[in-house]
Amino acid sequence: MEGASLHLQKAVEIYRKDGEELIESDIISCLFVIGNIHNVLNQKDKAIGVWAEALESSNELGSKGHGEIHRTLGSLLSAGA
């Protein structure tokens, strides 16, 4: 699982270099999954940090983002994961 997290983090870096709105949505998806991986590995602080980053990006993207992921991130963070 940690290998998958590393590959997703690399994808986030590549997406950020491109900087397009469509890609920002992909960054949020990757960060969401990275947070889930940390959560499964019982790395709660890392999971919360990554989810918070994803939610911040989702807030910036607004209605052009993934609504369901946005709501799930909000729920996870408000519950303290």
Give the pLDDT confidence of 9-62 residue by residue, as tens digits.
Answer: 888 787 777 666 556 778 888 899 999 999 999 999 999 999 999 999 888 877
Q: What was the pLDDT predicted at 20?
A: 61
Q: What was the pLDDT predicted at 63?
A: 66
Q: Is the pTM of this model over 0.85?
A: no
Domains of the chain are 2-78 (1.25.40)
Q: How many angstroms separate the Cα of 72 from the Cα of each of 6, 34, 36?
A: 23, 14, 11
* Residue 55: CB atoms within 10 Å: 21
Q: What was the pLDDT predicted at 17?
A: 77
